[in-house]
Amino acid sequence: MNTFARLLTRTLVFAFIFSLFAVPTFCFADDGDDTDFDNDGKDDIAVWRPSLATFFILGSETGQQLSYQWGLFGDIPVSGQYSSNLRPDLAVYRPSNGVWYFREWDSDLEFSETDSVQWGGFPGDQPVPCNYNGSSRQDIGIYRSGIWYEKFSPSFSEEAIVAWGSASDQPVPRDVDGDDKCDHVVYRNGLWAVLLSSRDNAESAQVQWGSAGDVPLAADFDGDNIHDFAVYREGTPSLWLIRESKSQGLTSRAISWGTVGDIPVVSDLDGDDEADIIVFRPSEGTWYALLSRDNYLAAQVQSWGLAGDVPVVRRGASIP
């Protein structure tokens, strides 16, 4: 038996979990990974251009266009709110040396302060930043063959190691039990397995949602402060399948959006505390969004980026 099987000590019915332990607080589930750089309550559209190692940000409040060089070619953008500031920091993870590089806001609201933390660097390490300790800030994390290695922000002096999953699983850390802490979640060919932070990582749950080949995404689509299980099924058109937590999984949504080659991302562009359905088309540098405030019926298209840019928002698991 592998580590995953040995640790799956107790499987719970998710309806029971949600009814007893998930208390909605009516705010967007906070994993510390927002991209609201201009602090107007809406996530901003942003890309990282590997060829220039530069962040390009389109502010949602005034349409201000900003660019900041940070990182090197080969880095992975992992921006989020790591520091004590009220706005997200620019951040990259460098696989070649396992160092996380941060560019933080200063008192003049400029990205001038810098910091770095060595954490990772082994072949195959996957960066999995998330708010693991409930601080509302994003912690740094590495997923390595079923083991989670975490350092807690903003001091990065406290660490945790959690065994959950296997080498072939896709890590999708999100708050799926509503306790304002990221749970250790892995996706395996349609099976979601969760180590519950609300039970001190001593109990677990499983949900079947999706199929082999789907891209797992978890976000709060229904506004109950709990991340819903969702998958993106690439095709022409592509299909989003969302399992709603507010009904304990008794209701779901299937929405066609995207096409082959698109990158599925989730973000709150309209500021209504519910995730929007978005694809970034790297071939043309265009964002195609269905906004939750319009019940995912009206499209918003925004050209921001160039071919090969990486969207600086929550991407599907396995998408660098």
- What is the sign, positive or negative, of the torsion defined by CA atoms of 185, 55, 81, 152? positive
Q: Are the beta carbons of 105 and 85 closer than 8 angstroms?
A: yes
Q: Are the beta carbons of 154 and 172 closer than 8 angstroms?
A: no
Cα(226)–Cα(125) distance, integer angstroms? 27
HSE (CB half, 13 Å, CA atoms) of 39? 8
Per-residue pLDDT of the chain (320 residues), as tens digits, is 444 444 433 333 333 333 333 333 223 344 556 799 988 999 999 999 999 999 999 999 889 999 999 999 999 999 999 998 878 999 999 999 999 999 998 877 789 899 999 999 999 999 999 999 999 899 999 999 999 999 999 999 999 999 999 999 999 999 999 999 999 999 999 999 999 999 999 999 999 999 999 999 999 999 999 999 999 999 999 999 999 999 989 999 999 999 999 999 999 999 999 999 999 999 999 999 999 999 999 999 999 999 999 999 876 655 55
Residue 218's identity, in one-letter code, is: A
Q: Look up the pTM and report it.
A: 0.88
Angle, vertex CA 8, rays to CA 5 and CA 10, nearest 5: 145
Q: What is the DSSP string of 234-289?
A: -SSS-EEEEE-GGGTTS-EEEEE---TT-EEEEE-SSSSSSPEEEEEETTTTEEEE
Q: Which of helix, strand or coil describes residue 41?
A: coil
